[in-house]
Structure 1
């Protein structure tokens, strides 16, 4: 962390992808909302959609087009069974994929859940200057993703570099 830079709060939208969760029992989305706020950022919006690629894509597309949203974090739908379709919904929207995110997420997860980490299809990328992170649906996976990867990259004080430095919407102000 840099002692000389002032923290820049950004607007982060949170999307839970689930056929069964409601606001009452969405622990993963709830964790992300709390973590975002505790880190000093603002929650632009929080939604839950069924695991349907077109509904996921519609919500994420809206946030990508919204100049007030700087980042999107999704939870759920990254597995390999049933209707898991978050990567398929989000990947076509990306201008660039951040390949290292999924690789690093699985490497970190391996330390916690061993070979079960290979079942994660976590991805990240950027679209229209909006950074998008797709995490698995478990609260533990969301904690790993936020605490070990995303939080520092969305903190402009993190050195030697971070994603906030690359957000043209913030540097134009």
Structure 2
């Protein structure tokens, strides 16, 4: 099956990565590093200034997102803070920022999580994707398994196309 968008010239993407965690730092952040490794495999480099680790706190998450939006990144990928625990507030913050939600991302991520990773625990996942102006924001769980699944099966497959659509 031919993809009508295969021949679109791909722009060099500027991507921000935010890890949301009360316990991780730059040495122990396996999820954020996994995101960056997948991007590196696509020849997308994440500038050190665009890799942030913040606490599970609404203001800290919002400030990090706003900082990256102000730098006009093409995409923001957040890891962590997507569960159902009281401190898991990433999704609430991202929903307050985005203009449009792409519900299919979360639906497909949960389906893939169910079938390929964690089985029925997938119902706990609140993965989300949406847009703010010309930036796409992906919010995924922080576990390396979830990151690898989201990056391999969804984000790396569609990020160029989504950014193209946002900049038409």
TM superposition score normalised by structure 1: 0.88
SS in 2 for 1:63: helix
The gaps in structure 1 that reach 5 residues or longer are: 156-161
List 4+ stretches of structure 1 deviating above 3 A: 1-7
Unaligned runs of 5+ in 2: none
Q: How far 1:117 sits from its partner (Å)?
A: 0.3
Partner of 1:83 in structure 2?
87
SS in 1 for 2:16: strand
Which residue number corresponds to residue 97 of structure 1? 101
Number of residue pairs the alignment of both structures matches: 162
What is the alpha-carbon distance in structure 2 between the residues aligned to residue 139 and residue 117 of structure 1? 15
Is 1:36–2:49 an aligned residue pair? no
Partner residue in 2 for 1:159? none
Report the counterpart of residue 158 of structure 1 in structure 2: none
- 1:95-135 Cα shifts (integer Å, max 9, x gaps): 11111111110011111211000000011100021000000
| Deviation, structure 1 residue 3 | 6.2
Query: Could you tell me how far apart the structure 2 residues matched to 1:167 and 1:37 are?
Result: 23
The residue that corresponds to 1:71 in the other structure is 75
Partner of 2:61: 56
- Note closer, same or farther for the CA distance 1:25–1:96 as it changes in structure 2 (3 Å cut): same
Matched position secondary structure for 1:8:
coil
Q: Which digits, 9 at most, give the CA deviation of each residue in 1:114-161, with x for residues without a partner?
A: 100000001110002100000001011011111000001123xxxxxx
**How far apart, in 2, do the equivalents of 1:3 and 1:75 lie?**
29
- Answer whether contact 1:70 1:167 (CA < 8 A) is retained: no
C-alpha contact 2:97 2:132 (8 A) present in aligned 1: yes
RMSD: 1.5
Is the 8 Å Cα contact of residues 75 and 135 (structure 2) preserved in structure 1?
yes
Give 2:133's aligned residue: 128
TM-score normalized by structure 2? Answer: 0.90
Distance 1:36 1:145 in 2: 12
1:21 matches 2:24: yes
